[in-house]
Homo-oligomer: A and B are copies of this chain.
């Protein structure tokens, strides 16, 4: 049960609890969080408050949700290494709606935006690639 602390939103406190459970390994990667109904009872809050808490973790890329199934701690796959050509510029941002659809990018996952010296550019999902400096 959550004892509401002044100055912090209820859902933020629930999110903090869940984050703690994830970081400590009590809920390891690939494993589900409790169901929304269970968390409601566990923390003594409404469903919307639970959902907002989970939404925070989703935006952080910490949790992935499948409708009708559950909310799972995201696993970190091995990253493929990129080394863009000299003179390239690399930025990072959240994907556009189109990029998320086309590249199948999950919530809370940014993209690398690699601009080549010739001006061409491409997006790479940051949960699949890393950049190596030559």
Interface residues of A (CB under 8 A from B): 15-16, 19, 56, 59-61, 79, 81, 83-97, 107-112, 126-127, 130-134
Contacts and interface: CB of A to CB of B under 8 A. Distances in A.
A105 to B, nearest CB: 12
A59 B79 CA distance: 24
A15 B95 CA distance: 15
A59 B89 CA distance: 24
* Count of this chain's copies in the oligomeric assembly: 2
B130 A133 contact: no
A12 to B, nearest CB: 8
B91 A90 contact: no
Given A90-B131, A133-B134, A110 B85 contact: no
